[in-house]
A and B are shown apart, each in its own frame.
Chain A
């Protein structure tokens, strides 16, 4: 929004300002925990969820014990191991779906913002219509009628989640387009593609990065909702899918709270991590006043100055 939007060109400078955001740091820490859990799942998890095991009736929804710290699920499998492996699927969906969303959103936003005129009119009208049709019911319809596979879920979530990004990127592009260096570049005869590539994109990119992190959290939430509604691929055990099994196969009736609580907490953890991280990044890349004229106890400070609250 303001001219100081990108004051952090070097990684070190970036980190120095990011460090100041406590929320961002907490978010980063929580995010790293999930990513590490997903990457090292085979090393951490006590059991392999795909392994063929023979179970008896007593193994089904067995309470937490020494062998199964978090009990077992409706198929007699270790909830902790499922939970650890589940982070993989949930993150894969989160990452890929948000990449799709961000790609479409950035494309639409930059084209609309930069070219303006009829292109903008058509694209933004289309965006408005997508905003008007409620995402979830539409996703439910599309997923229900295609094969419930992980990639379809990713595609649907990605293809429906770009509208917010498009609007954001467009307004940022509009702002950047009017800036002096862009006008200067144009006056010396730079082509549209050149301006987009070398002037618009670098200025819009920080916003896109922040937005990506936030869209990941939305994608993870959406995946869990679609899984809960029974529309996801039951062979890809995400946290949402664990909840679906717990829900459709009577975990609460069996008083097996462990099968329901853990995956839910996992989703909250991952979503919260992305949201906090996004907030932290936003403070660095697009700093705004976090205090004001009526603030209590804190002096009015300048942007970028150290704040020890």
Chain B
């Protein structure tokens, strides 16, 4: 009797779950929407099945701690998605590791005198992964799709200056701009070219909700199999029009925790990992068969210490609360805090030394745009104390915390950071200690990123936030963050306002001469540094590692570190 009960129960339990699960369909992520993708994956499978020892496909296994959010280039947010797009799709330009751009889909470019008309000649004989030809028509279709789709959250920015995009009979793409802009390359690199014969049939919300599992592109790898939050399996396109990879397959596997990721590399479950905790560096360095590389990341990012310095007259009328501590509107206080911040100590503890002291919001990984001529405010708490004393911020009641010059409002600063950051809590502790030495108190509070956005901008209901930005290869976006116009939009997190800076921003945006533009951008950084708008504690390095007993040829000394970039994936070959 009892056995029956148990069996019956288990049966019902499992059956119940299966009912809830619908058809019990196990894997809907396989490519199945396109016929040719199907056959290609079948051939791959059948060759797997009969794979003999001599003829096994060469598979590179990459471990990473993330996973693409979607394969639809229009709605993707995460960098993991862009890593996949980068190898499966082509765009007009390829961003090289040294920060320069080279033509990818086009073999020649002609720019009109006034800088308004760009004529790209698309290479002849390019095909998509399903065998259909890729022509200027597809490029024009893609650009127009990106320009017209309001459901694509980020891409409209890149097509902002497009007046018309057309293809002519000679396989030329003609882009007419509304204004002459200096940075068309960086505008075009994320506009991946999609096949019109697949995307052309979609309309309205269907475009944003298109799952794009077959992912037909024209890049050096093609999609074989995708399971969300598990892996992405790509097959090399050996006869690619530019350069085909030497390996047969690359698999990106997701590990939800970074320790497991490091361990997977150690045990040989994966051949390369794209990220790791910096604490792993020491022990991995001593490991046989593993090589560690670090350097500026390909995708620039910056960590910033944000001061709420919104002046009352700039407080956004609709959303603004502007409760920032009044002392932070005084440059002297910000300057004192900058002098009281020991960046090297932060780099040592938070990054284990794998970073460079930060200077301006434009990080060193933006290359020529980074103004490295500025002199940083040296760590000197005596000087910092002196500055505050001179400016009249004294500790009149002897509680160790200074007050405003009129004796009111002690310098107790609320310090917030996003709760999903692993570095910020340690940085906050360190800052609290350092600033405590000059009589500035802090109240530490982690906030959910969403709640942080709500306190930050454009409400300005905070004193200090530890946060950061990701950036394009072009500095335009990061520079825009400090504009007066961005205070009510929520992009400005400091409330900084300086008419000179605003004017220079407009000037660099249309400056066609590269050197003149760089000079302007350097001047803007100088102004912002002078005004101590932010403290930039560090520029973090990217740390990656690979097994030396599996593949060779990794691009480790080309300036920036991105082993998952085509620059490495196309050239690595197995160790014989």
Contacts and interface: CB of A to CB of B under 8 A. Distances in A.
A269 interface: no
A75 B429 contact: yes
Interface stretch (A27-35, A140-148, A184-192, A271-279): A140-148
B426 A52 contact: no
A60 B345 CA distance: 12
B390 interface: no
Interface in A43-59: 52, 54-57
Given A145-B450, A145-B451, A253 B284 contact: yes
B419 interface: yes
Given A75-B429, A235-B444, A247-B259, A60 B349 contact: yes
Interface in A241-259: 245, 247-256
Contact of A57 (B352, B422, B447): B352
B425 A250 contact: no
A128 B28 CA distance: 35
Nearest to B443: A235
A210 interface: no
B262 A55 contact: no
A253 B448 contact: no
Contacts of B428: 235
Given A230-B420, A250-B276, A55 B349 contact: yes
B283 A144 contact: no
A215 interface: no
B446 A250 contact: no
A74 B419 CA distance: 18
Contacts of A148: 419, 446-448
B279 A233 contact: no
Given A235-B444, A253-B279, A147 B451 contact: yes
Contact of B422 (A52, A75, A231, A249): A249
Contacts of A55: 345, 348-349
Contact of A253 (B276, B353, B444): B276
Contacts of B283: 253-255
A283 B276 CA distance: 51
A74 B448 contact: no
Interface residues of B, number: 35
A149 B348 contact: no
B277 interface: yes
Contacts, number: 90
B419 A60 contact: no
B278 interface: yes
B280 interface: yes
B425 A235 contact: yes
Contacts of B420: 230
A253 B419 contact: no
A230 B425 CA distance: 11
A230 B258 CA distance: 14
A245 B278 CA distance: 13
Contacts of B433: 52
Could you say which of A52, A144, A249 has the most chain B C-beta atoms within 10 Å of its C-beta? A249
Nearest to B455: A147
A256 B259 CA distance: 12
B278 to A, nearest CB: 7
A248 B437 CA distance: 29
B353 A57 contact: yes
B503 to A, nearest CB: 40
A223 B178 CA distance: 57
Interface of A: 52, 54-57, 60-61, 74-76, 144-149, 230-231, 233-235, 245, 247-256
The 10 A-B residue pairs whose C-beta atoms are closest, nearest first, are A250-B277, A253-B280, A52-B433, A250-B279, A234-B425, A253-B262, A254-B279, A252-B259, A248-B422, A235-B444
17 contacts: A52-B437, A144-B419, A144-B448, A149-B445, A231-B419, A235-B446, A248-B422, A249-B422, A249-B426, A250-B258, A250-B277, A251-B259, A252-B263, A253-B262, A253-B277, A253-B280, A254-B282
